[in-house]
Amino acid sequence: MGIIKTLIFLAFLIFAIAFTYYNLQDAEIKFYNYSFKIPVFILVFTSFGLGLFFPVLYYTLRENALRKREEQIYSFLSLFWRGYLGRALSIFRRYLPREEFVPFYIRIKREFKEPIDIQLDLYRKGIVETALAENKIPKDLDGARILLENALGKNYRNLKAKRLLRSLYLLKKNLDKAEELQREILTEIEEERRTCEQRALSTILAEKYLKEKDSVYLKELWQLPISKLSGAVLASVEGAESIFEAASNLGILNEVIKIMEEKNLLDPNLLSLIQSYRNHIHDDILYYVYQRLNMQEQANNLNIKNPDLKLVKGKGRKLLSLVRIWKCEECGKEFKNFNSVCSNCLAVNSFKINLN
C-alpha cells in the first residue's frame, strides 16, 4: 500500500511541476474597479487547496464531536451498568431530550427512590409511557393500563406496549380487546417469536370459548399451536387422545390435566386415557383428578411429593384448594389456581405445576 501511495504522490508531483511550467503566465482578476495579476498555476492550486480544506475541516470537526458523544454514551452505559448511578445521571442529563434515553432516567430515579418528574408531552414515541407503565407493575395495574393506552395513542407501532396491554386486558378478562391486540401483535412479531405469540392467541380464544361456549373458537383453536389452557379446552370437547399426545410431547400434560380438573372439564370417560398416560402424569396431579372424581381409595394410594399437598391429604377439597400448586416460570410467584397471565409480572402462558 505504501508503494502505491508513493507512486500516486510522485505522479501528482510530476503533474504539478509540469502544470506549473506550462502556466507561469499571469491571469488578470477583476472585481468592480479593482484588478490584479496572479500566475495561473497559483490561482489553480489555491482554488484546489481551498476546495479541499473547508470540507476536510468541516468533516474532521464533525467526526470529533460525534466521537466525543459516542465516548460519553459508552461511559454513561458503563457507569450505569456498574451501578454508579449518580455519575451516570450527571453525564446523560443532556441526552434526556432523546426519548430513547428516558427509561434509563426512570430506572435511576426509581433506584434512588426519588419522584419521577417527566413532562410526557415532550415525547412522541410512547417509549416513556411504556417504561413508566412497567414501573407500575404489579402494584398499580390500572395506572399501567392508562399509560400503555396513551403510549399506543402516540405511536401504534410499539410492540412492547401492545404486548403488555394485551396481558393486562387478558388479566382483567377484557377478552375482546386482548384478542384484537393479539392479532395485531401476530402481524408485527418477528419470526422466531411467532409460535409463542400464537400460543398466546390460543389461550385468549380458549378463555373466550370457556366464557361464551361458542364453537367458532374451537375451529380456530385446532389450527393454532396448543397452549396449556387451549389444550385443556380442546381435550374436553373432542380428540382428547391427540391433545394428550401433543401435550405430552410439549411437556405440558400435567398442566393440561390440572387445568381440566380446576375448570371442571374432566369427564369420567377420560379416566382410561389418563391411566394410559400414567407414566407421564405426576401423582400430585392424579391426586387432584381422583379427588375431583370422588375416587377416594385411588387417591389415598398415591405417592404425593408436594409437602403442602401431603399436609392436606385426605382432609377434604376445601383445604386442597389452598395449596399453591402453580408457579409462574417468569417471576417465581406461586399461585393456588391457574391463570393464563401472571398477575405479578404479566407473563402469558407462564404458569407451571410446582412439582417437587
Question: Which residues of this chain interact with Zn ion, rule CB under 5 A?
Answer: 328, 330-331, 342, 344-345, 347
Nearer to Zn ion, 259 or 328 (CB): 328
Phi-psi region of 349 (alpha: psi -120 to 50; beta: other; left: phi over 0): left
Dihedral of CA atoms 256, 259, 260, 263 in degrees, nearest 10, equals -160
Q: What angle do CA 259, 261, 262 make, to 5 degrees?
A: 65
Smallest gap from Cβ 137 to Zn ion, in A, equals 10
Contact between residue 289 and residue 256 where contact means Cβ atoms under 8 Å apart? no
Nearer to Zn ion, 250 or 331 (CB): 331
Nearer to Zn ion, 226 or 342 (CB): 342
Closest among 89, 79, 145 to 116, alpha carbons compared: 89
Instruction: Please report which helix (H) or strand (E) contains residue 53, including its range.
Output: helix 40-81
Residues near 82 by beta carbon (within 8 Å), at least 6 away in sequence: none
User: Is residue 38 classed as helix, strand or coil in its secondary structure?
Assistant: strand
Smallest gap from Cβ 110 to Zn ion, in A, equals 19
Nearer to Zn ion, 237 or 347 (CB): 347
Closest among 199, 204, 231 to 217, alpha carbons compared: 204
Q: Please provide the DSSP assignment of 235-295 as one string.
A: HHHS-HHHHHHHHHHHT-HHHHHHHHHHTT---GGGHHHHHHTGGGS-HHHHHHHHHHTT-
Smallest gap from Cβ 331 to Zn ion, in A, equals 3
Nearer to Zn ion, 23 or 343 (CB): 343
Smallest gap from Cβ 338 to Zn ion, in A, equals 13
Smallest gap from Cβ 183 to Zn ion, in A, equals 24
Greatest C-alpha distance within the chain? 120
Smallest gap from Cβ 270 to Zn ion, in A, equals 30
Q: Rounded to an integer, what distance in angstroms lies between the CA atom of residue 189 and that of residue 168?
A: 19
Nearer to Zn ion, 227 or 291 (CB): 227
Smallest gap from Cβ 129 to Zn ion, in A, equals 22
Smallest gap from Cβ 81 to Zn ion, in A, equals 25
Q: Which residues of 147-164 are buried (b: 16+ CB within 10 A; e: fewer)?
A: bbebbbebbeebeebbbb
Nearer to Zn ion, 139 or 278 (CB): 139
Smallest gap from Cβ 333 to Zn ion, in A, equals 5
Q: Please provide the DSSP assignment of 186-200 as one string.
A: HHHS-GGGHHHHHHH
Q: Rounded to an integer, what distance in angstroms lies between the CA atom of residue 332 and that of residue 352?
A: 10
Nearer to Zn ion, 154 or 166 (CB): 166
Nearer to Zn ion, 320 or 342 (CB): 342
DSSP letter, residue 36: E
Closest among 286, 263, 288, 266 to 276, alpha carbons compared: 286
